[in-house]
Amino acid sequence: MTWILIIALVILMGLVLYSLVRGIVAFLQSTKIDLETGEGENVTEMQLLQNKMMFNRIKYQALAIVVVAILLAISQ
């Protein structure tokens, strides 16, 4: 049981990192587009992607905290 939770925790940490990087890339792209064109044509798409990725990051972090809490409860 412990090994399954540890594997789940590692996977969740990877998903947090992936979502964080995708969100930052979307933020940088929206900033670059806004600075180059001065118009907000594609910015909304990038902002929606950024919001989605950051929300995913929060979900995965919450799940990772739950897994850590379960691991701590099992160890005692």
Report pLDDT digits (tens) over 28-59: 888 777 667 766 565 677 788 888 999 999 99
The two structure tokens encoding residue 51: 């919001």
pLDDT value, residue 37: 72
> Nearest-CA neighbor of 9 among 56, 64, 62, 69?
64
Q: Supply the pTM of this predicted model.
A: 0.79
Domain-wise residue ranges, the chain: 2-75
34 near 40, Cβ under 8 Å? yes
Q: Which helix (H) or strand (E) holds 1?
A: none
Cβ(29)–Cβ(2) below 8 Å: no
